[in-house]
C-alpha cells in the first residue's frame, strides 16, 4: 500500500472557507492533498487531520484559519496530507497509524496531527517502537492522564499507562508540562518521580519560563492537550478550566518545540468545535501551528561539540571536587548542553551523553552545586 492510500483528500472549495484571502496567504503555497497527493520533496512538516465515523472534521476548522495566515516561505515547507480515518472498530488502528507515522519520520518529515483525543499519543509512541528508537515525550496537559487503583497499581486504560507498561520499553523520558496540582493525585506524582521523569507545574512555568526550553528541546514527541490552555483563551476543548497556560505561552512552547532538532513528531489534541465560541480555539491552534512551523523553518544545524569554532567548552566541579561537569555553549544559537557520564552499559547509551540544559545549570555548577537536571540525567542512565 502506498503512503497516499492512507489519507482522504480535502476538497478545498467545498470543505474550507478560503474565500477572499490575500495573495500572501498560506493557501497559495501549501501543498495540499486535493486531487493529487502532494510531492513531499523539500517539505519538512506533514499535517494530518484525524477523523472518525462521528467526527465533526475538526481539522478543517483549523485549516481554514491556518491557510489565511501569511509568510509564504513558511508554507513552502508545509504539506497537508489530508485526513486519516480512525476506525474505532478496527482493533489495530493505533498500530496502523503508528506505522504510517514511522514511515513519514523515516522520510525526514515531521508528522503534525490534529485530533480530538489525546489517546492518539499512543500511536505517536508506536512510531518510535517501529523505528526501535528511544523516545523523549513532551506531554502538555493540565492533568496527568493516569489512573491508579486502591492499591496504587496502574490501570492500563489510557495511552500513558500503556506506554509506561509497554515491553520492551522505548520510553526514555517523559516531561509532564503545565499540570495543575489541584487536578493531580499525589500518588501519581510519586510514581512518576520514581521514574525520574520531569514534572513541571503550571506555576513553575510562570516563575521561570526560560527554564523549560532545555526540556522541550530534548523532546522527540510533542503531545499538546489544548485543554492545558485556560478557558478564557481557549473554550473549544473537551476539558475547559479557568486556569491554565496563556495563549502566548502555548505559542512559545510550539515555537521552541519546532526549533528543536530532536523533535520528529507533534500533535494537538482535544479540540472540540462544538464548544468553540467564534472559532477562538481554532484560530489559536492555527497560530500554534504557524509558530511551530516558524520554529522548524529557523532550525539551526549545530556543529560538532569538539569543534572550538562552533562550541565553547566549560568545565566545573562540585564542592567536594568529585563530580566534574562539562558544559558546551553553541556560538551559533547560544544554547547550552551538559555532558553526563554513563555509569554502565545500556543500549544506545555508552560512555557519555549530552543533554540540553540552561545557563542557570552552568551557573549553579560554578558555585559548586550539582544541577538537578544533571542528577536526573545521571539516574536515568544508571
**What is residue 346's predicted lDDT score, i.e. its pLDDT?**
45
Q: Which residue has the higher pLDDT, 224 or 54?
A: 224
**What is residue 132's predicted lDDT score, i.e. its pLDDT?**
96
Cα gap 225→234, rounded to integer Å: 11
pLDDT digits (tens, 9 = 90+) for 266-292: 999 999 999 998 999 999 999 999 999
For residue 235 the three cell numbers come to 473554550
- Give the mean pLDDT of 247-269: 97
Half-sphere exposure of 152 (CA within 13 A, CB side): 7
> What is the fold, at CATH topology level, of the domain defined by 3-297?
3.40.800
Choose among 287, 289, 283: nearest CA to 61: 283
Q: State the DSSP code for 170.
A: -
Confidence band, pLDDT 50/70/90 cuts, at residue 347 = very low
Predicted TM-score (pTM) of this structure = 0.94
pLDDT digits (tens, 9 = 90+) for 39-97: 999 999 999 999 988 777 789 999 999 999 999 999 999 999 999 999 988 999 999 99
**What is residue 324's predicted lDDT score, i.e. its pLDDT?**
83
Choose among 328, 137, 29, 244: nearest CA to 235: 244
Choose among 174, 180, 178, 179: nearest CA to 192: 174
**What is residue 341's predicted lDDT score, i.e. its pLDDT?**
86
For residue 161 the three cell numbers come to 499507562
Kind plus residue range of the DSSP H or E element containing 256 = helix 247-259
**What is residue 17's predicted lDDT score, i.e. its pLDDT?**
84
Torsion on CA atoms 357, 253, 108, 26, rounded to nearest 10 = -150
325 close to 312: Cβ distance less than 8 angstroms: no
Domain(s) labelled CATH 3.40.800.10 in the chain stretch across 3-297
The answer, yes or no, to whether residue 350 has pLDDT greater than 70, is no
Cα gap 332→323, rounded to integer Å: 28
322 close to 333: Cβ distance less than 8 angstroms: no
Cα gap 266→230, rounded to integer Å: 21
Amino acid at each position: 500500500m502506498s503512503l497516499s492510500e492512507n489519507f482522504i483528500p480535502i476538497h478545498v472549495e467545498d470543505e474550507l472557507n478560503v474565500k477572499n484571502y490575500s495573495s500572501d496567504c498560506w493557501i497559495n503555497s501549501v501543498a495540499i492533498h486535493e486531487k493529487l497527493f502532494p510531492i513531499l520533496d523539500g517539505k519538512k512538516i506533514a499535517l494530518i487531520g484525524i477523523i472518525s465515523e462521528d467526527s465533526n472534521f475538526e481539522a478543517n476548522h483549523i485549516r481554514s484559519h491556518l491557510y489565511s495566515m501569511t509568510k509564504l516561505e513558511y508554507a513552502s515547507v508545509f504539506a497537508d496530507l489530508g485526513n486519516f480515518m480512525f476506525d474505532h472498530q478496527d482493533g489495530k488502528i493505533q498500530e496502523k497509524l503508528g506505522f504510517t507515522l514511522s514511515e513519514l519520520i523515516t522520510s525526514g518529515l515531521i508528522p503534525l496531527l490534529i485530533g480530538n483525543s489525546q489517546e492518539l499519543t499512543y500511536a505517536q509512541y508506536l512510531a518510535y517502537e517501529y523505528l526501535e528508537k528511544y523516545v523523549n515525550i513532551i506531554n502538555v496537559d493540565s492533568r496527568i492522564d493516569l489512573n491508579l487503583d486502591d492499591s496504587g497499581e496502574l490501570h492500563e486504560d489510557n495511552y500513558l499507562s500503556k506506554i509506561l507498561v509497554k515491553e520492551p520499553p522505548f520510553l526514555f523520558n517523559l516531561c509532564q508540562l503545565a499540570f495543575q496540582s489541584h487536578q493531580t493525585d499525589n500518588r501519581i506524582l510519586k510514581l512518576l518521580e520514581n521514574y525520574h521523569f520531569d514534572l513541571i507545574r503550571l506555576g513553575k512555568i510562570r516563575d521561570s519560563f526560560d527554564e523549560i526550553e532545555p526540556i522541550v528541546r530534548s523532546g522527540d514527541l510533542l503531545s499538546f492537550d489544548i485543554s492545558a490552555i485556560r478557558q478564557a483563551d481557549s473554550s473549544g476543548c473537551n476539558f475547559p478550566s479557568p486556569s491554565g497556560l496563556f495563549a502566548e505561552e502555548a505559542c512559545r512552547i510550539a515555537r521552541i518545540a519546532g526549533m528543536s532538532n530532536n523533535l520528529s513528531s507533534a500533535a494537538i489534541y482535544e479540540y472540540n468545535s462544538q464548544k468553540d465560541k467564534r472559532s477562538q480555539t481554532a484560530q489559536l491552534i492555527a497560530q500554534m501551528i504557524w509558530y511551530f512551523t516558524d520554529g522548524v523553518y529557523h532550525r539551526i544545524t549545530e556543529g560538532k561539540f569538539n569543534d572550538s569554532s562552533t562550541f565553547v567548552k566549560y568545565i566545573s566541579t562540585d564542592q567536594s571536587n568529585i563530580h566534574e561537569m562539562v558544559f558546551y555553549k553553541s556560538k551559533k544559537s547560544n544554547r547550552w548542553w551538559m555532558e553526563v557520564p554513563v555509569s554502565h552499559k545500556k543500549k544506545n547509551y555508552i560512555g557519555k551523553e549530552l543533554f540540553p540544559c540552561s545557563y542557570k545549570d552552568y551557573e549553579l555548577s560554578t558555585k559548586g552545586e550539582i544541577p538537578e537536571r544533571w542528577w536526573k540525567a545521571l539516574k536515568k542512565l544508571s
